Amino acid sequence: MRVSITINAVQCLLEIEPGDILLDVLRREGYVEVKGDCHTGDCGACTVLLDGKPVASCLMLAAKADGHAVTTVRGIGDQRHPHALQKAFVHNGAIQCGYCIPGAITSAKALLDENPEPTREDIRLAMDGNYCRCTGYEQQIEAVLEAARELREGGFR
Amino acid sequence: MGVITEYYRATSCDDAHAKAKSLGSAAAYVGGGVELVLRRNPEVATLIDLSRCGLGRIVKTAEALSLGAQVTLAAISRNGDVKAYAGGSLAYLAGHIAHNNLRNMITIGGAIGRNQPWNDIVPHLIALGAYVEIQDDQERVMPLSDFIRQREPGTLILGVRLPLVNADLHGFLWRFTRTQQDISLLHCSALIGVQESVVSAATIVYAGRPGGTVLYPKVAAELIGRPVKAETFLHAGDVAAQAVEVGDDLRASGSYRRELVRAAMVRLGEEMAGVAQ
Ligand SMILES: Cc1cc2nc3c(=O)[nH]c(=O)nc-3n(C[C@H](O)[C@H](O)[C@H](O)COP(=O)(O)OP(=O)(O)OC[C@H]3O[C@@H](n4cnc5c(N)ncnc54)[C@H](O)[C@@H]3O)c2cc1C
């Protein structure tokens, strides 16, 4: 079946199987920044934004994304134009192995779009589906707080 | 899901139901799709998408708060009318199940449609006195507690109705889990009314025993007409520990669950003492 999904602001017409999973379709189309890990919706590595809201792409039918906008971490910012969150994650040492970071930043982006001044508790709840086995989370929370501050003050894009 | 050969976008509830009826067990409705992807049923070859069927709204009428089957847990947790209903217990529950990404996907229709023995949403809705709107050969409304006992395959869930007569009562929820994201070892939900420090109405539900949702009118009867005091709830806890059928599984023993059954009533008492004051 043919679907139309706007991925990182580019409209893509894709040929998929009716039972295909969004994570598999995205990776097949070259969006390898979206990571697969548990495939049971537990770990958050595969998080993407669907119309601005974080979802687990490993449990999402690709056909359900037809007509919707998907944003991956690359659509939030890249090496040449990093987003405030990406800079803050580096600055705060919130990355070690890096595998979970695309999902973590994607969840954090959805939070800051909705709530520019989150508390620590807001951040914990918004990122409660993003496991990180390296950092112990504290630096990630610091990074999101720093990015939120920077965005409010207009320091970063 | 086995090999899916068709993804059918229903244009209305009638269309969705007719398609499901024509295909029988080879078709499944899609809510958030979480459970369909996770636990593939080899019989299912056609998925029926409901997103164009107008089931995605939360509406307050003179009698009820209606939640369409396609409404997600995240939407429920943020809705002002749900937050104001029965002390906001359903909004709290919907905002704490699984995690944020899944709360944006899981729908109320999918939660009822699957209704695992450890499901938290169905027992809480039953405690709140929810009705379910369904479509089989006709549209019908029935108590959710009846629906989960009598459900026919292929029935389309249109949504749930929370009666406004219960809106000012106190919803209580206690999920005993090892971690926040874990499924419940034991779930207790209740709806309690208090007038002049006396329990005026009570509904008690246990689930995850490890069996599914059961209403316990016998335990509720121990509370009604009694003062909101620790002794009342301690006594109800003893009655509950006798009445609630519990079992062993890999996650907890039956005797441990029996203690949790009692502890849930103690917790309820502590919470109601605060409400009565
Ligand atoms: C990591 C994880 C953690 C979880 N934690 C919890 C938890 O703590 N507590 C809890 O209660 N649940 C929990 N869940 C389970 C979740 O609530 C269920 O998976 C739920 O069924 C998913 O809803 P859905 O809308 O995606 O369902 P779907 O997968 O879309 O559908 C589930 C079933 O319902 C049927 N269905 C869907 N919509 C309708 C309809 N309108 N009419 C009739 N039938 C319909 C489908 O055909 C299917 O058989 C968890 C799930 C995961 C993956």
Contact A54 B101 (CB under 8 A): yes
Distance from CA of A153 to the nearest CA of B (A): 27
**Mind listing the pLDDT tens digit for each residue in A64-113?**
999 999 999 999 999 999 999 999 999 999 999 999 999 999 999 999 99
Taking the C-alpha atoms of residue B107 and residue B101, their distance in angstroms, rounded to an integer, is 12
H helix intervals, B85-214 = 89-94, 100-103, 108-114, 121-127, 144-150
Chain B partners within 8 Å of A63 (Cβ): 7, 47, 49
Please check the confidence at residue A155 and state whether its pLDDT lies above 70.
Answer: no
Task: Tell me which residues of chain B have a C-beta less than 8 Å from any C-beta of chain A.
Answer: 1, 3-7, 30, 33-34, 36-38, 47, 49, 51, 74, 95, 98-102, 104-105, 180-181
The CA A127 to ligand 1 mean position distance, Å, reads 21
B100, A54: Cβ pair inside 8 Å?
yes
Task: Give percent of chain A above pLDDT 90.
Answer: 93
* SS3 state of residue A19: coil
CA-to-CA separations, B257 to B64, B98, B245, B248, B249, in angstroms, rounded: 35, 22, 10, 8, 10
pLDDT digits (tens, 9 = 90+) for B73-89: 999 999 999 999 999 99
C-alpha span between A55 and A40 (Å, rounded):
13
Position in ligand 1 atom list of the atom nearest CA B177: 8
For residue B156, give both structure tokens. Answer: 């389309």
B105 with A47: Cβ contact below 8 A: no
The secondary element (H helix, E strand) that includes residue A73 is: helix A73-76
Q: Report the C-alpha gap between B197 and B206 in whole angstroms.
A: 25
- Which of B228, B241, B238, B226 has its CA nearest to residue B269? B228
Mean pLDDT in residue range A109-134: 95
Question: What's the distance, Cα to Cα, between the start and end of chain A in Å?
Answer: 38
Our answer on whether the CB atom of B105 is closer than 6 Å to any ligand 1 atom is yes
- Residue B93: helix, strand or coil by DSSP? helix
Q: Closest Cα of chain A to B145: distance in Å? A: 29
Alpha helix stretches (DSSP H) within chain B: 13-23, 34-38, 73-78, 80-84, 89-94, 100-103, 108-114, 121-127, 144-150, 217-223, 230-243, 254-276
pLDDT at site B2: 63
**Which pLDDT belongs to residue B32?**
97
Query: Which of B33, B38, B100 is the closest to A129 by Cβ?
Result: B100
Q: Which contiguous run of DSSP H or E holds residue B199?
A: strand B198-207
Interchain CB distance below 8 Å, B5 and A54: no
Q: Which residues of A touch B (CB under 8 A)?
A: 1, 17-19, 21, 40-42, 44, 47, 50, 53-56, 58-61, 63-64, 107, 125-129
Is residue B133 in contact with ligand 1, taking CB distance under 6 Å?
no
Note the pLDDT of residue B268: 97
Comma-separated ranges of CATH 1.10.150.120 domains in chain A: 77-153
Confidence (pTM): 0.95
Q: Where in chain A is the domain with CATH 3.10.20.30?
A: 2-75
CATH class of A77-153: mainly alpha
- Going by C-beta distance under 8 Å and a sequence separation of 6 or more, which residues neighbour residue A32? none
What is the rounded CA–CA span in Å between residue A106 and residue A61? 19
Report how far ligand 1's centroid is from the alpha carbon of B38 (Å).
Answer: 10
Complex-level ipTM: 0.94
**CA nearest neighbour of A54 among A108, A125, A119:** A108
Please name which of B137, B185, B140, B191 lies closest in space to residue B161, comparing C-alpha atoms: B140
Residue nearest to atom 51 of ligand 1 (CA): B98
Helix (H, G, I), strand (E, B) or coil at B60: strand
Q: DSSP for B215-253? A: E-HHHHHHHTTSBSSHHHHHHHHHHHHHHS----BTTB-
Q: What is the pLDDT of residue B181?
A: 75
Residue to mutate, B41, B90, B106, ligand 1, most ligand atoms under 8 Å from C-beta: B106
Contact B74 A53 (CB under 8 A): yes
Q: A2-75 sits in which CATH class?
A: alpha beta
Tens of pLDDT, residue by residue, chain B (277 residues): 569 999 999 999 999 999 999 999 999 999 999 999 999 899 999 999 999 999 999 999 999 999 999 999 999 999 999 999 999 999 999 999 999 999 999 999 999 999 988 899 999 999 999 999 999 988 999 999 999 998 888 999 999 999 999 999 999 999 998 877 788 999 999 999 999 999 999 999 999 988 889 999 999 999 999 999 999 999 999 999 999 999 999 889 999 999 999 999 999 999 998 876 6
Q: Is the CB of B154 under 6 A from ligand 1?
A: no
Give the mutation candidate from B99, B102, B182 for the A interface (greatest A CB count, under 10 A): B99
Torsion of CA B188, B31, B99, A126, to 10 degrees: -130
Q: Which residue has the higher pLDDT, B78 or A157?
A: B78
Task: Please check whether residue B151 is in contact with residue B112, taking contact to mean a CB–CB distance below 8 angstroms.
Answer: no
Which residue matches tokens 């009118």?
B217
How far apart are alpha carbons B128 and B93 in whole angstroms? 13
